Amino acid sequence: MRLIFFGPPGSGKGTQAQLLSQRLGLAHISTGDILREAVRQDTPEGRLAKPYMSAGRLVPDSVVNEIVCSLFRKKDRPAHFVMDGYPRTIDQAEQFDEVLHEQGLALDGVLSLKVDDEELIRRLSGRGREDDSVDTVRKRLQIFHSLYQGLLDYYRKNGLLVEVPGSGEKEAVHQRLLQALDGKVKSS
Ligand code: AMP
């Protein structure tokens, strides 16, 4: 199965992507993890990405696309995967479509975890991190929504988008995602 996973900060996206990868035997591909590792190893990509990451900004599309494309062009490329944190822009989505097409890999679905902003604000500001004051959280969510609106529309148009409520216990959300996928795979 080949999936993209979207979800706002605080929605449990990372945890749910990991659960899906473990239980469905999919490679969990997180560009955030790949980039953090590149920075740690001080690779050329890591050196390019570092200032953007430290400033909390998106790393340029060219850098991230290159990382993802070379991963999918390797001989032992992942054939079944869940993408976590990529694509984040339309340019990335187009590039990803291109490389998947070139590799003969079709996406099965794009999962989007939906959680009310008020709930996210409660969860995030309750974590007690210094930057997680309610205003900062609200700002982060606004940025998230403005960025992802276009991406969600992109995949909605392709008929790949499945929106799943993300409230409740971890296991309940996981089961809901599996059910949504079941419907998706059967109907496609
Ligand atoms: P994440 O762990 O997904 O929150 O990513 C951590 C940081 O890595 C982000 O704040 C960005 O600076 C960078 N990053 C991760 N994925 C991408 C992406 N697809 N496009 C641009 N920057 C990214």
Residues 6+ apart with CB under 8 A from 177: 16, 20, 111, 164
pLDDT value at residue 104: 96
pLDDT value at residue 187: 46
Q: How confident is the model at residue 97 (pLDDT cuts 50, 70, 90)?
A: very high
**Does position 183 have pLDDT exceeding 90, yes or no?**
no
Average pLDDT score over residue span 142-162: 93
Q: Is any ligand 1 atom within 6 A of the Cβ of residue 39?
A: no
Q: How confident is the model at residue 81 (pLDDT cuts 50, 70, 90)?
A: very high
Record the tokens describing residue 159, joined without a space: 């008929």
Strand, helix or coil for residue 6: strand
Element (H, E) at 82: strand 81-84
Q: Is any ligand 1 atom within 6 A of the Cβ of residue 35?
A: yes
Of 13, 37, 59, the one to substitute when testing ligand 1's pocket (max ligand atoms within 8 A of C-beta) is 59
The answer to pTM > 0.85 is: yes
**Does position 159 have pLDDT exceeding 90, yes or no?**
yes
Average pLDDT of the residues of the chain: 92
pLDDT value at residue 188: 43
Q: How far is the CA of 187 from the centre of ligand 1 (A)?
A: 32
**Does position 122 have pLDDT exceeding 60, yes or no?**
yes
**Atom 15 in ligand 1: residue holding the nearest Cα:** 32
Record the tokens describing residue 67, joined without a space: 């990382």
Separation between Cα atoms, residue 30 and residue 110, nearest integer Å: 15
Tell me the per-residue pLDDT of 26-56, one tens digit each, with 9 for 90 and over: 999 999 999 999 999 999 999 999 999 999 8
**Atom 1 in ligand 1: residue holding the nearest Cα:** 32
Q: How confident is the model at residue 156 (pLDDT cuts 50, 70, 90)?
A: very high
**How many degrees, rounded to 5, is the angle at CA 28 between CA 106 and CA 183?**
50
% of the chain at pLDDT higher than 90: 81
pLDDT value at residue 132: 60
Q: How confident is the model at residue 139 (pLDDT cuts 50, 70, 90)?
A: confident
